[in-house]
Amino acid sequence: MSQPVYTKLNLGCGEDRKTGYVNLDRSPLVHPDVLHDLNTLPYPFPDGSFELIEAFHVLEHLDRPFDVMRELHRLLKQDGVLHIKVPHFSRGFTHTEHTCGFDVTFPLYFDKNFTKSGYYGVDFRLVSAQLHWLTLAHLLPYMGYGPASVFFLKLVDKVISFFANLSPYVASRVWCFWVGGFAEIEFVFKKSK
């Protein structure tokens, strides 16, 4: 019987292994489908292997995020989707292994028309960018938050995130510090060229 062919990659899967995906991680403790150090390029897949790549809270742990973006471009099929979640710079670095923060200008480095000196040689078309004030709410009870506090924080998140996403650039530049920063920024890209 032949092995199933997966066209979705869960990069840096951690404990969030997904059915129907190739789950790739560097840690044998999470039992990934493919064990690979994400700082070691190239990744062990041929060009154009995936229709969808998800990298949720991974890039900020890697030594060279722009080189990884170039590698993910290689792995995507034409018009493939790259879905990324990373910490917003205003949150600060709350994990000791974070190497960088991100802001709403990140997609500009994949547009050759933006700047010649900052262009990273691969084209991604930005489909969407959203700021999220609160993420990982499921962890709040482990941090001592009661049900009422969690409910209230989720409500505040909806309000702040709604207004922030009316203009992510203004929110990132002007008023993010008034609300204590944003937990993450989420990007959806399509591979172009």
Average pLDDT over residues 83-89: 90
pTM recorded for the entire structure: 0.88
Q: What is the pLDDT of residues 109-133, one digit of tens each?
A: 888 888 777 777 888 999 999 999 8
Average pLDDT, the chain: 89
More confident residue, 93 or 134: 134
Using DSSP's 3-state secondary structure scheme, residue 50 falls into strand
Domains contained in the chain, CATH given: 8-133+184-192 (3.40.50.150)
Q: What is the pLDDT of residues 124-169, one digit of tens each?
A: 999 999 999 888 788 888 889 999 999 999 999 999 999 999 999 8
Give the percent of the chain with pLDDT over 70. 93
pLDDT value at position 190? 96
Q: What is the pLDDT of residues 4-24, one digit of tens each?
A: 567 999 999 999 999 999 999
Closest by alpha carbon to 72, among 186, 185, 193, 191? 191
Indicate if the pLDDT at residue 90 is higher than 80. no
CA distance 130 to 107: 12
Indicate if the pLDDT at residue 74 is higher than 80. yes
CA 136 to each of CA 62, 70, 123, 141, 165: distance values in angstroms, whole numbers, following the listed order = 21, 28, 30, 11, 19
